[in-house]
Amino acid sequence: MKIEKMDIVVVGAPWRELTIVELTTDSGISGLGEVRMVNKTDTLIAAVQELGARYVIGMNPADMTKLAWNIQVAEYGLPGEVGQSALAAFDMACWDIMGKSLNVPVWKLLGGKFRNRIPAYANGWYQGDRDPEVIKHLAKAVVDKGYRALKIDPFGSASAEITRSERMRALAILESVREAVGPDVQIFLEMHGRFTGAAAMAVARDVADVEPSWLEEPVIPTDVTSLRQLRQSTHLPIASGERMHSAHELRPFLEEGLVDIYQIDLTHAGGITGLQQLIGWTNAYNTLLAPHNVCGPIGTAAALHFSVACPNFKILEHFNDFADPWVFDIVEGAPRVDSADGCFAVPTGPGLGVTLNREECEKHPRTGGRLALFKDGWEKRVAVETYTQPED
């Protein structure tokens, strides 16, 4: 079996563009991969086209470790966001093909079923005003949909430092969310790598009584010194990793015990194969994996199959119930969270279990959608124009 064809489809939404890669073999079996690239869709497409022609067309889809070696080593440049994202799209599609060819779900090829339910968390606070009462109602809607965990960035467009009044505003938002969802729902505090070590420590002190279940990317993710200072000053769990693209980048954080939960994104870290390689690393240091996931249904399906089989898995991120819920329709068989317990069920279909609906994809052409975390109003994620305001 050899791959003989590669197609690229891009689905557009206000704040994200979903790059879908479909690989087809000479036996007629096709597989899907999907990546939400952060602000560089054209760059990703170029990498997929170049690397696909060089290494993917003509390969046996079972040879995924060789494909990874070709892109990560034979290319000579160090693995980074773009190359690892292109590899992830290929890798997901190859796993999909292999599952279909054997008529089994991908998780059975990853070591089998470790759990029967896969907990998820949502980001349902987006697209509302940065006001405690508004976000309180949005958070309640997340819990009403069955989720037992949610994530929030209440810090506006803060960068490096944050004033005391803005810290108090963020705290008021978090306190209103806690009031709305009760004591047992997990609140994950998203910090988007905004802060210096000193600012992050001030925030951690402020929010201690809200008891967030983690502080996510409190400082720039490569800032080992500031993270070490924060680690020594707070009892709150620290999560990071969505912007780490290869195993060696985790070494200083693992060796010093600086991170409790690793949020590696399989769409930016070489796909399912890349994330599988990290299970042993993180398990050896008694840490957890909570895959970062801002994809549509294809990337979500890939992360879900990984999560079914991963022994040190914590929880899976999921956007699609609250951000662009029409993305469910771009495939048949999209994974959905059960409102009874806020969990995904174990997939049962062969491969990733999803089939592309090209007619639905065509209804949502490219938008130029992107994130601009340091522009006022970014959190509404409603239009590209929000991110192109003139400077004051």
Catalytic residues: 192, 292
Token digits of residue 227: 């993270």
The set of residues, in sequence order, having a beta carbon less than 8 Å from that of 100 and lying 6+ positions away, is 29, 31, 350, 351
Instruction: Yes or no: say if 73 and 246 are a contact pair by the CB < 8 Å rule.
Output: no
Give the Cα separation of 33 and 89 in Å (integer).
Answer: 4
- Per-position DSSP letters for 195-230, written without gaps between them: B-HHHHHHHHHHTGGG--SEEES-B-TT-HHHHHHH
Instruction: Yes or no: say if 344 and 338 are a contact pair by the CB < 8 Å rule.
Output: yes
Query: What does the buried/exposed string (b/e) look like for 343-367 if buried means 16 or more CB atoms within 10 Å of the residue's CB?
Result: bbebbebbbbbbebeeebbeebeeb
Angle value at C-alpha 378, between 392 and 142, nearest 5 degrees: 155
Instruction: Yes or no: say if 239 and 261 are a contact pair by the CB < 8 Å rule.
Output: yes
Q: How many CB atoms lie within 10 A of CB 65?
A: 11
Give the Cα separation of 342 and 38 in Å (integer).
Answer: 27
Closest by alpha carbon to 118, among 356, 355, 341, 328?
341
Give the Cα separation of 299 and 85 in Å (integer).
Answer: 11
Instruction: Yes or no: say if 214 and 189 are a contact pair by the CB < 8 Å rule.
Output: yes
Token digits of residue 57: 């067309």
Instruction: From residue 163, give the alpha-carbon distance in Å to each of 61, 130, 136, 188.
Output: 53, 16, 23, 22
Between 81-102 and 41-51, two packed helices, what is the crossing angle to 10 degrees? Answer: 60
